C-alpha cells in the first residue's frame, strides 16, 4: 500500500531532550516536507526537500533540523525542544513531476514538550 509513515504517533518529552520524528514513504517521491499544525494557524511548512541531499527552509524552520540521506526517509530533528514546539506534526511527500502533484500526508505525530 502506498503510504507515508510517521513515528511515533504520540510523544511526550521534556525541554532540552533531543528527539527525532521519523518519516518514510514507499512511493518513490522526490519531494518531502514537514509541517506543524496549530489551532487557528493552520499547517505551516517547516522544511522541505526536493531530492536526496537537497533540503531548504520553509516558513517556520527555527528550532528544527532535517536530513535527506535516502530518497524514502526524511527525519525531523529537534535538538533542544521547547514548550512552544508542542504541536501536531505532519510529514508529506509528492511526486513533484510538475506543480500539480498533490501532497500525501502521514498520520501525524502529536508532540508535547513539558
Partner 1 sequence: GQNIDQPTEMTATEGAIVQINCTYQTSGFNGLFWYQQHAGEAPTFLSYNVLDGLEEKGRFSSFLSRSKGYSYLLLKELQMKDSASYLCAVRDFNKFYFGSGTKLNVKP
DSSP 61: -
Rg (CA), the chain: 13
Could you tell me which residues are beta bridge partners of residue 31? 94
Q: Give yes or no for a contact between 106 and 40, defined as CB atoms under 8 angstroms apart.
A: no
Decide if residue 61 touches partner 1 (CB under 8 A). no
Decide if residue 31 touches partner 1 (CB under 8 A). yes
- Write down the least CB distance from residue 102 to partner 1, Å: 4
Decide if residue 72 touches partner 1 (CB under 8 A). no
Decide if residue 73 touches partner 1 (CB under 8 A). no
Of 35, 64, 74, 89, which lies in the binding site for partner 1, with binding defined by CB under 8 A? 35
Decide if residue 64 touches partner 1 (CB under 8 A). no
**What whole-number distance in Å separates Cα of residue 114 and Cα of residue 58?**
25
Decide if residue 53 touches partner 1 (CB under 8 A). no
- Write down the least CB distance from residue 72 to partner 1, Å: 18
| SS3 of residue 69 by DSSP | coil
Q: Give yes or no for a contact between 104 and 29, defined as CB atoms under 8 angstroms apart.
A: yes
**Contacting positions for partner 1 (CB under 8 A):** 31, 33, 35, 40-45, 48, 50, 56, 58-59, 90, 99-100, 102-108
Amino acid at each position: 500500500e502506498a503510504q507515508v509513515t510517521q513515528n511515533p504517533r504520540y510523544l511526550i518529552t521534556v525541554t532540552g531532550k533531543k528527539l527525532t520524528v521519523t518519516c518514510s514513504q514507499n512511493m518513490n517521491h522526490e519531494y518531502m516536507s514537514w509541517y506543524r499544525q496549530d489551532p487557528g494557524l493552520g499547517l505551516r511548512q517547516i522544511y522541505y526537500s526536493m531530492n536526496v541531499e537537497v533540503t531548504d527552509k520553509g516558513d517556520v524552520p527555527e528550532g528544527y533540523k532535517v536530513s535527506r540521506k535516502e530518497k524514502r526517509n526524511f527525519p525531523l530533528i529537534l535538538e533542544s525542544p521547547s514548550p512552544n514546539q508542542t504541536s501536531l506534526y505532519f510529514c508529506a511527500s509528492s511526486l513533484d513531476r510538475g506543480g500539480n502533484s498533490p501532497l500525501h500526508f502521514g498520520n501525524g505525530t502529536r508532540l508535547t514538550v513539558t
